[in-house]
A and B are shown apart, each in its own frame.
Chain A
Amino acid sequence: MVDLTPNRGMTPIVQTIAGWTKGLVFLFGIYIVLFGHITPGGGFAGGVILALTFVLMTLCCGKESALRKMPMHIAAELDSVGALMFLVIAWLGVWSILGGTFFTNYIAKWNRGLPYHILSSGTIPLCNIAIAVKVAVSLFLVFTLLVMTRVIHKPNE
């Protein structure tokens, strides 16, 4: 059978520290995503860090606090939106004015931007953002599902 009792969370000390740090962790994830074309990092690593803030909230304050910020149906839609964003960015290159081939970096052909600036390298930051949304929401979904559905073995039954 499946146990559906709410998860009450940890002690107030852990909850307070987690409340202070979760914003900083989220900001660090956004930094890793947005500067993925300049410094080590990128969409996948940044997305996992963004998902870790929701994992932190689920472990410390119970799953209700995380689900209040990101309900399951919105998470499932955001997952598809991230994948669609990546595909749309790729498909826009097929348009003959922009390049004519799949995954053309059409913005970099028009204007590469200055190196070491955040507005450079064309479609790469946009792809990073799309992948980050997708990865973050996917890992949050899997973690929440594994926490919510717990199979309990009862002896002598």
Chain B
Amino acid sequence: MLELTGVLLLFMVMAAIIAIETKDLLGAVISVTAVGFGSIIAFFYLRAPDVAIVPIVVEVVVLVILIRATLRAGLKTFIGNRPFFGYLVTVALLVVIFLAGIRVFGGLPAFGDPVVARIPDAPARAYIESGLEDTGATNVVTAVLLDYRAYDTLGEATVLFTSIVGAVAILRRKARKKPSDPEADEW
């Protein structure tokens, strides 16, 4: 279990480095998707198919959209030399994150060890024990998302709606001149 976690983590780190450093836009897009699929495999090993199914479909859509947007748009990559001070800041940040990570990982539970099993008063225990009696939904994740914590789902839907309205307003074909213009309603 621990070896698989290490291999997965190494794969995701390598894919992320390739995504940043490669000169090819298509290769960068595919590397970003590889990082996402690595996290999906981690979710499956944590026995969370409900969490894993959303990233799978979203990764596929984002991959298609990004390939379509990068291949046909004729975008150019910017290749520049990093200054010495930038390297210094990067190395210092990496060292700080590494040292802080060693301290943080000492206090975390082991990979795949749920917090519910260790803390008796965890709120998740109440969801698991009384979710079926309260809501009647056998899928506890959906019961939490749409009954106990439906406010969070409403916020998520609002974020999506706002971003779609912004994208439609920016990417439409022509601006509206007058309300009486017959061509104004065309997309």
Taking CB atoms and an 8 Å cut-off, the chain A residues in 120-157 that contact chain B are 120-124, 127-128, 131, 134-135, 138-139, 141-143, 145-153
Interface size on B, residues (CB 8 A): 45
Q: Is A52 engaged at the interface, CB distance under 8 Å to the other chain? A: yes
Chain B residues with CB under 8 A of A59: 64, 68
Q: Is B160 engaged at the interface, CB distance under 8 Å to the other chain? A: yes
Q: Is B172 engaged at the interface, CB distance under 8 Å to the other chain? A: yes
Q: Is chain B's interface secondary structure helix, strand, loop, or mixed overall?
A: helix
Is the beta-carbon distance between A48 and B171 smaller than 8 angstroms? no
Cα separation A134 to B74 with both chains bound (whole Å): 31
What number of A-B contacts does a CB cutoff of 8 Å give?
A: 144
Is the beta-carbon distance between A73 and B146 smaller than 8 angstroms? no
Is the beta-carbon distance between B171 and A149 smaller than 8 angstroms? yes
Cα separation A76 to B53 with both chains bound (whole Å): 26
| Contact A115-B132, Cβ < 8 Å, known A39-B139, A79-B164, A124-B142 | yes
Is the beta-carbon distance between A150 and B173 smaller than 8 angstroms? no
Interface residues on A, range: 35 or more
Is the beta-carbon distance between A40 and B53 smaller than 8 angstroms? yes
Encode B133-155 as 1/0 by CB contact (under 8 A) with A: 01111110111011100110110
Taking CB atoms and an 8 Å cut-off, the chain A residues in 1-55 that contact chain B are 2, 4, 32, 36-42, 44-45, 48-49, 51-52, 55
| Contact A149-B173, Cβ < 8 Å, known A48-B61, A131-B157 | yes
Residue of B nearest to A149 (CB): B171
Q: Is B168 engaged at the interface, CB distance under 8 Å to the other chain? A: yes
Chain B residues with CB under 8 A of A120: 136-137
Cα separation A138 to B135 with both chains bound (whole Å): 29
Is the beta-carbon distance between B139 and A83 smaller than 8 angstroms? no
Given A48-B61, A149-B171: 13 more A-B contacts, CB < 8 Å:
A37-B139, A83-B161, A87-B154, A103-B150, A105-B135, A108-B134, A116-B138, A123-B147, A141-B164, A150-B73, A151-B73, A151-B74, A153-B74
5 intermolecular pairs with C-beta atoms under 8 Å apart: A52-B57, A90-B150, A112-B136, A124-B147, A127-B150
A-to-B contact residues, CB < 8 Å: 2, 4, 32, 36-42, 44-45, 48-49, 51-52, 55, 59, 72-73, 76, 79, 83, 86-87, 90, 102-103, 105, 108, 112-113, 115-116, 120-124, 127-128, 131, 134-135, 138-139, 141-143, 145-153
B-to-A contact residues, CB < 8 Å: 49-50, 53-54, 57-58, 60-61, 64-65, 68-69, 72-74, 76, 132, 134-139, 141-143, 145-147, 150-151, 153-154, 157-158, 160-161, 164, 167-168, 171-173, 185, 187
